[in-house]
Structure 1
Amino acid sequence: MPFKRQVEIGRVALINYGEEYGKLVVISDVVDQNRALVDRPDEVRRMVTFKRLALTDFKIDIPRLAKKKVLTAALEDSEVFKKFADSAWGKKLAKREVKSNQTDFERYKAAVERKKRSEAIKKELKA
């Protein structure tokens, strides 16, 4: 079974480790077999190892080492960040973020709701 996501210029990737965890970046050039130059409109272009990148299904058409203006225009035209947020992967990350920012009381309310729902399901299954 062939790979569906190739490392290529314009491929959108998710940083999966470090300070920038969860940020989407665009591969602007491949340095060698272990590293790529990644770029984002509001950040400085930098090298990241492939171990810290998770490739997404999204790709934009940009030239190699595109300038910020070209990158920003391509991202706005394709609305990649919005598409990623609407995907199952993006929704999962958003849920995880919301859950990690909950207070103790919010976690308690969620646990009570889960318990009520579980009891209702058990009651229906017994009937």
Structure 2
Amino acid sequence: MGIKPFVQRGRVAYLTCGANYGKLCVIIDIIDQNRALVSGPTTGVRRQPLSFQKMKLTKYILKDVHPTIGDKALSLKLKESDFVDQFNKSKTGQNLKNKEKRTKMTDFDRFKLQKTKQKMNKLISRAAKKISLVSKKAKK
């Protein structure tokens, strides 16, 4: 397991459920053990308290975020840090893009993908058999 990020002011989080599903926000203040005040002016998340169960913490942190920061100042910090592009390039961002692509696929697209995977698996199994035969001959 990797290192889990800590909950702290300025931590960027990905929302995993609710009306703001799939959007990024910043933790502005910690209310209690279960909730935090979040805001995401550039992504369309209004300032509101949210449960930690509804968000996934990322490795990105904004510096100098305090509880009285306004949406304009926060949006300027977000634009300066350019964390949205960094998140989209990360592994989690790529997985989310792929998941979105899969949900938009038609039946025919899924069929084509299935056939392509079958061809790839046949090629891989043939190559694996050749390698195992060569290694068996080398042992004798």
Q: TM-score, normalised by structure 2?
A: 0.83
1:37, distance to aligned residue in structure 2 (A):
0.8
Greater CA drift, 103-112 or 63-72: 63-72
Which runs of 5 or more structure 1 residues have no equivalent in the other structure? none
- Count of aligned pairs: 125
- Rg: which structure is higher? 2
- Once residues 38 and 72 of structure 2 are traced to their aligned partners in structure 1, the CA distance between those partners, rounded to angstroms, is 15
Contact 1:38 / 1:46 at 8 angstroms: preserved in 2?
Answer: yes
Contact 1:29 / 1:65 at 8 angstroms: preserved in 2?
Answer: no
Structure 1 residue ranges (4+ consecutive) displaced by more than 4 angstroms after TM superposition: none
SS of residue paired to 1:99:
helix
Match of 2:93 among 90, 103, 108: 90
1:1-16 aligned at under 5 Å gives the runs 4-16=4-16
- Structure-1 residue corresponding to 2:49: 47
- Structure-2 residue corresponding to 1:124: 127
Which runs of 5 or more structure 2 residues have no equivalent in the other structure? 131-140
Q: Percent identity between the aligned chains?
A: 34
Contact 1:7 / 1:55 at 8 angstroms: preserved in 2?
Answer: yes
1:101, distance to aligned residue in structure 2 (A):
1.1
| 1:67 and 2:77 matched | no
Q: CA RMSD in A?
A: 1.3
- Once residues 100 and 32 of structure 1 are traced to their aligned partners in structure 2, the CA distance between those partners, rounded to angstroms, is 36
